[in-house]
Copies of this chain bind each other. A is one copy, B any other.
């Protein structure tokens, strides 16, 4: 992924900061408005005669670098306040229950013993003093609202530079609901990004604790790690202890939009009993999270009572946590899903903070056998109806998709989603293209993700090697991210996204010209590429050698081709006339020149 033309288009305002690789730096590009500086990773190339050696600019999600204890600067705050339609409000009071059962139990004990509550029991520790913002009464302070009014926000301009398109292209896509810019006004730390089929394919990484052993600091570290490997958004799926405080730390340190499934926290508040969930409890949780700054909510409002029986004869039933919780609630109360019946009220809350919908696919297929069935597509139809309602409230919407789908059934998912959901962005988990490879589901699903991305899916939710088996650790997060950045970039190439191929061409030119260091630095994972090369040819001399360990000097096809090209160029072989006349004469000249083409090869052999 690259800027407009893969080069720094305006160096004015660019400032360099140290980056992990010595030959790549973060640069900021300013175009149009002076108060907008868009980050890119600039990869510097070895100066080569006759070749453009300008740095290659790559899309950069890593942010300015988090210090967990102070958080990131509130980049967007001036833009938000300048719009003049928001107001500071009294924050919803924090309660120990917001941090889950363990915190509640600790608080009760502390109260009984008159102890001083610990920091995590006391709630938020970051962003203190910054007021909670929301739209003025009856207001709708969403990017969709502004776009529809014809207003190009700074967020849209930022996104336009990032994507290398005109700001008006961004505004129109948002106004039409074809794209969203998840940007809660209470998460001013985020660098704006866009999710839509006309833009670069994005990747989401899931993090979140589910055991008491995972500390708050660890989750911030996972966040920083995920964005370092290119996560465009991050979902905090915590279900364990200190759920409110964990989320606060993540938000204050997140340069990307953050998504959540509020149902998980609501269920924590009922001590894990789905049947005790109520609209009031859920509503309170929505406000709690919206005030913290969550940028998008997964809402399983499409799991309607009538669809539940359609899952009974499936091979793997309901595999979505949210879906199964709501199915259980529906059955327990013999009532329609309260997320469906209260959907308009949910929209009003989300419009007030500009939280985007990620309409959850609670009935997604959990295996190849269940793909594209009546339950899945029934829910999708409902999500399409809900999209229209959300849009009536100026709330941005994307639609979640499967799951497990064999390759020949993937395109139907995209096409049906586009039709039923009126071209709202599609956001899919994989899909996994076979069930038989637990331990390798980052690969089974990268295949499906690349394909569904090519056909129009806007964002891919990553799958790690631990899927179906356990919680991902840091290495799993990296492996999942890399597999999905590959899938997303392959999809960008297939969609012909302007500028996407600049990256591939730069790396392939470096490969052909034996600029090994450039090849490593342009790689999706420079450290690994360098380490694999050095395992066979560790000598630093090999980094400049015109061959590699695969073929050795004698067989190197690229070297031979270079010699052929040099000969052809010197003798005009490639011109139109020569092509028409055939190679006879030119080849004759070549032989007369004494097989010069192979001399460099012989020289290399002599080195052995």
Q: Which residues of A contact B (CB under 8 A)?
A: 210-211, 239, 264, 267, 272-275, 305-306, 308-313, 315-321, 323-325, 327-328, 330-335, 366-369, 406-408, 433-440, 442-444, 446-447, 450-451, 454, 465-466, 468-471, 482-483, 486-487, 489-491, 493-496, 501, 503-505, 507-509, 511-512, 519-520, 522-525, 528-529, 531-533, 535-537, 548-552, 554-555, 557-558, 560-565, 567-569, 573-574, 578-579, 582-584, 586-588, 590-591, 595, 597-598, 601, 605
Contacts and interface: CB of A to CB of B under 8 A. Distances in A.
A331 B443 contact: no
Closest 4 CB pairs of A and B: A317-B561, A334-B587, A470-B536, A367-B508
A357 to B, nearest CB: 21
A366 B437 CA distance: 30
A308 B529 contact: no
Contacts of A536: 466, 469-471
Contacts of A309: 568, 573-574, 578-579, 583
Contacts of A487: 447
Nearest to A274: B598
A481 to B, nearest CB: 11
A367 B311 contact: no
B529 A443 contact: no
| Number of chain copies forming the complex | 2
A437 B367 CA distance: 29
Contacts of A601: 272
A490 B316 contact: no
A468 B239 CA distance: 43
A389 to B, nearest CB: 22
Contact of A532 (B465, B483, B495): B465
A537 B211 CA distance: 12
B368 A486 contact: no
Contact of A583 (B264, B331, B508, B565): B331
A564 B210 contact: no
A274 to B, nearest CB: 7
Contact of A482 (B313, B437, B469): B437
Contact of A504 (B368, B450, B522, B550): B368
Contacts of A573: 309, 312
A469 B548 contact: yes
Most chain B beta-carbon neighbours within 10 Å: one of A210, A406, A549, A573: A406
Contacts of A505: 315, 367-369, 435
B331 A366 contact: no
A483 B334 contact: no
Given A330-B587, A439-B528, A491 B407 contact: yes
A504 B332 CA distance: 32
A433 B450 contact: yes
Contacts of A529: 438-439, 469
A368 B437 CA distance: 29
A482 B368 contact: no
A560 B318 contact: yes
A550 to B, nearest CB: 6
Given A332-B591, A491-B407, A583-B308, A483 B210 contact: no
A273 B434 CA distance: 47
Given A324-B560, A433-B490, A434-B486, A439 B532 contact: yes
A340 to B, nearest CB: 14
Given A312-B574, A327-B564, A560-B324, A334 B522 contact: no
Nearest to A605: B272
B493 A561 contact: no
A316 B440 contact: no
B512 A315 contact: yes
Contacts of A440: 482-483, 486, 524-525, 528
B444 A486 contact: yes
Contact of A469 (B493, B496, B532, B579): B532
Contacts of A519: 438
A367 B508 CA distance: 6
